[in-house]
């Protein structure tokens, strides 16, 4: 059989320095090494978020697999004009993890998992390999938020609660919680920017 050259032009050794957008293009051309590079760059954050929201390693691994397989099959659904690859992957991760947590089957085992899950899930600052300085800055920005805003965001984002559930947990009006999440995210963004972190859009 004739060997047909790839029109991609990029050699495998280029991938480690390729931009995320270029990686997605290569993934769209079914370059498995490009997917591997995207995994190397972002799977840690994807896994950490999925672990934190689902509370179990097994579910988190399923989410990671699903998110990267979706990137493989539907690479063109990522639109670089609308944000970074990282935030896109993490938004999908969050959505999927939240679906799992809210599903009936997940609810049954949740209590049990909450005990053993935290230890098992690997959300462990000691073992982070990602930029600890950034983690510090994020923590500082989060802690600089008004307490009510920070709580609302954390319950929604890390625990996968809806704003109504957050309102019930905190015993606050739903409308207030809704506004606080929005205002808090904006304040957080400004805080991150002030700390010199890039929040692109």
Partner 1 sequence: MTHDELQELLGAYALDAVEPHEAAAVEDHLRSCPRCRAEVADHRETAAYLAHAGAEAPPALWDRIAGAIDAPAGAVPLAPRFAGRGSQRRWATALVAVAGAAAAAVIVVLGVQVRDQERRMDEMEAALAVADRGLAAAMADPAAVMMDLVGDGGTHVPVVISGRTAWLQAGTLPALAPGRTYQLWGLAGEDLVSVAVLGHDPGVVSFDVAGYSLLAITEEVAPGVVRSENEPVAAGRLA
Nearer to partner 1, 69 or 116 (CB): 69
- Site size for partner 1 (CB under 8 A): 98
Nearer to partner 1, 2 or 105 (CB): 2
| Interatomic CA distance for residues 198 and 137, integer angstroms | 12
Q: For tokens 């079914």, what's the residue?
A: 30
Site for partner 1 in 123-152 (CB under 8 A): 123-125, 127-131, 134-135, 138, 141-142
Other beta carbons within 10 angstroms of residue 26's beta carbon come to: 25
| Interatomic CA distance for residues 25 and 34, integer angstroms | 9
Q: How far is the CB of 187 from partner 1 (least distance, A)?
A: 10
Q: Which of 12, 16, 58, 87 binds partner 1 (CB under 8 A)?
A: 87
Q: For tokens 């085992």, what's the residue?
A: 109
In sequence order, which residues have a C-beta less than 8 Å from that of residue 61 and are 6 or more positions away? 47, 50
Q: Any idea what the Cα angle at residue 158 is, between residues 89 and 75, rounded to 5°? A: 10
* Residue 84 in contact with partner 1, rule: CB under 8 A: yes
* Residue 181 in contact with partner 1, rule: CB under 8 A: yes
Nearer to partner 1, 42 or 113 (CB): 42
* Residue 64 in contact with partner 1, rule: CB under 8 A: yes
Nearer to partner 1, 91 or 114 (CB): 91
Site for partner 1 in 98-127 (CB under 8 A): 98, 122-125, 127
* Residue 4 in contact with partner 1, rule: CB under 8 A: yes
Asked whether the beta carbons of 59 and 106 are under 8 A apart, the reply is: yes
In sequence order, which residues have a C-beta less than 8 Å from that of residue 39 and are 6 or more positions away? 68
Q: Which of 83, 110, 120, 169 binds partner 1 (CB under 8 A)?
A: 83
């Amino acid at each position: 059989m004739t060997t047909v050259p790839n029109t991609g032009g990029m050699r495998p050794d280029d991938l480690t320095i390729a931009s995320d957008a270029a990686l997605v293009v290569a993934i769209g051309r079914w370059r498995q090494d490009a997917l591997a590079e995207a995994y190397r760059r972002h799977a840690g954050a994807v896994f950490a978020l999925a672990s934190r929201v689902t509370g179990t390693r097994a579910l988190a691994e399923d989410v990671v697999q699903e998110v990267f397989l979706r990137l493989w099959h539907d690479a063109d659904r990522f639109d670089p004009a609308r944000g970074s690859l990282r935030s896109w992957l993490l938004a999908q991760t969050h959505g999927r993890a939240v679906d799992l947590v809210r599903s009936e089957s997940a609810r049954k085992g949740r209590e049990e998992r909450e005990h053993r899950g935290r230890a098992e899930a690997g959300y462990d600052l000691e073992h982070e390999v990602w930029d600890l300085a950034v983690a510090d800055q994020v923590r500082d920005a989060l802690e600089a938020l008004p307490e009510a805003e920070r709580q609302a965001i954390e319950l929604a984002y890390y625990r996968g609660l809806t704003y109504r559930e957050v309102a019930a947990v905190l015993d606050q009006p739903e409308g207030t919680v809704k506004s606080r999440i929005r205002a808090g995210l904006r304040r957080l963004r400004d805080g991150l920017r002030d700390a010199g972190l890039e929040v692109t859009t």
